[in-house]
Amino acid sequence: MEELVCIGCGAKIQTQEKDKAGYTPQSALEKGLETGELYCQRCFRLRHYNEIVDVNISDDDFLKLLHEVGDSDALVVNVVDIFDFNGSVIPGLPRFTSGNEILLVGNKKDILPKSVRDSKVTQWLTERAHEEGFRPVATVLTSAQNKIAIRDLIDTIEAHRRGRDVYVVGVTNVGKSTLINAIIQEITGDKDVITTSRFPGTTLDKIEIPLDDGSYIFDTPGIIHRHQMAHYLTARNLKYVSPKKEIKPKTYQLNPRQTLFLGGLGRFDFVSGQKQGFTAYFDNNLDLHRTKLDGADAFYDKHVGSLLTPPSEKEKLDFPKLVRHEFTIKDKMDIVFSGLGWVRVNADGANPVVVAAWAPEGVSVMIRKALI
């Protein structure tokens, strides 16, 4: 059989893997062959709905793309998930983009409690960027989902790109597609900055959104971050790790040697210190279950998949075992379960606290200066 390629991007047409390049539903393939206009689903959606669809690419392709960014004179827009900064960092980003200016976008701001001031989050994100080795030219907080600060972001991009191309980079799940779609919507509603009624060039590795002055916004595909909790759950349970609305913090007064189970996805042990309040920031639907530390291992083995869920009975068969990380804390700190949320601990030098955080093997747990 002759090899079929998409006339939009040149990808080899295939009907099996939805999230891979060239995917075309069987019915569309037949229709395309009839009419002679064969587009893959991604290009079809892009042409007809101005909508970006995710395609997963390999690490190698992603690195190649990043190098390409480094070889051009461009503004780099790095989208991260405020709720999961560590799960959204691109390791070595400043090295790959070699000196190009980076604008940092903290997306999903709608999830954070409303009481948190933007300036505090912006400062916090900027500090994290410094730790990663780059100094963003600006840091903007958005909610792609609720269309908050989209115009603000466009204006900030305009102010900093100075006639250059723009590369939007980010790992999967940070909301990059939703954000680009929101940008396109905002702009096509009000055509002064970017002309997006059509996308002449859709290439496999990136999407070009033409700007009035002949420059482009390039949307590069995201890469999967293996530390994200999301990769261990099925679609039905993803809602627990990808909250859709403002999280309501819950404070628990714990005695030493008490444990909080985070559904069956993680566990927080108060090992030693004075009785005190711990504030938990997790999706509102995730059940937190308090129990005694002694016997907690057996409790988990017995109840994971039923009382402690997600994972479900079925998911638990493939769910990685929980791994313990111990911390001695002498300040106001957050213990972060990557992609799931965090527990705020209020220790100080005179009253140090020892806690242990358990997360599925492969999912990182870290400690950071308290965000809130």
- Pairing of the two strands 322-329 and 258-262: unpaired
Q: How many CB atoms lie within 10 A of CB 246?
A: 14
Q: Are 109 and 143 in contact (CB under 8 A)?
A: yes
User: Shortest approach of ligand GDP to residue 245 CB, angstroms?
Assistant: 7
* Residue type for position 91: P
Residue nearest to ligand GDP (CB): 175
Binding of ligand GDP by 275 (CB under 6 A): no
Sequence-distant (≥ 6) Cβ neighbours of residue 190 within 8 angstroms = none
User: Shortest approach of ligand GDP to residue 243 CB, angstroms?
Assistant: 6
Site for ligand GDP in 48-67 (CB under 6 A): 54
Binding of ligand GDP by 242 (CB under 6 A): yes
Q: Are 255 and 270 in contact (CB under 8 A)?
A: yes
Q: Are 223 and 171 in contact (CB under 8 A)?
A: yes
Sequence-distant (≥ 6) Cβ neighbours of residue 261 within 8 angstroms = 267, 288, 289, 290, 291, 296, 299, 300, 308
User: Shortest approach of ligand GDP to residue 44 CB, angstroms?
Assistant: 18
- Classify the C-alpha dihedral 157-162-163-164 as positive or negative: negative
The one among 67, 244, 292, 314 contacting ligand GDP by CB under 6 A? 244
Binding of ligand GDP by 110 (CB under 6 A): yes
Site for ligand GDP in 121-180 (CB under 6 A): 143-145, 170, 172-178
Total binding residues toward ligand GDP, as defined by CB under 6 A: 20
Distance, CA of 16 to CA of 13 (rounded, Å): 10
The one among 222, 263, 339, 341 contacting ligand GDP by CB under 6 A? 222
Binding of ligand GDP by 111 (CB under 6 A): yes
Site for ligand GDP in 282-341 (CB under 6 A): none
User: Shortest approach of ligand GDP to residue 176 CB, angstroms?
Assistant: 3
Instruction: Record the tokens describing residue 80, joined without a space.
Output: 């991260």
Residue closer to ligand GDP (CB basis): 156 or 178:
178
Residue closer to ligand GDP (CB basis): 50 or 259:
50
- Tell me the H-state helices in the chain: 26-35, 41-49, 59-71, 85-88, 93-96, 118-131, 150-161, 176-189, 296-303
Residue closer to ligand GDP (CB basis): 97 or 173:
173
The one among 42, 108, 128, 225 contacting ligand GDP by CB under 6 A? 108
Binding of ligand GDP by 225 (CB under 6 A): no
Residues binding ligand GDP (CB under 6 A): 54, 107-108, 110-111, 143-145, 170, 172-178, 222, 242-244
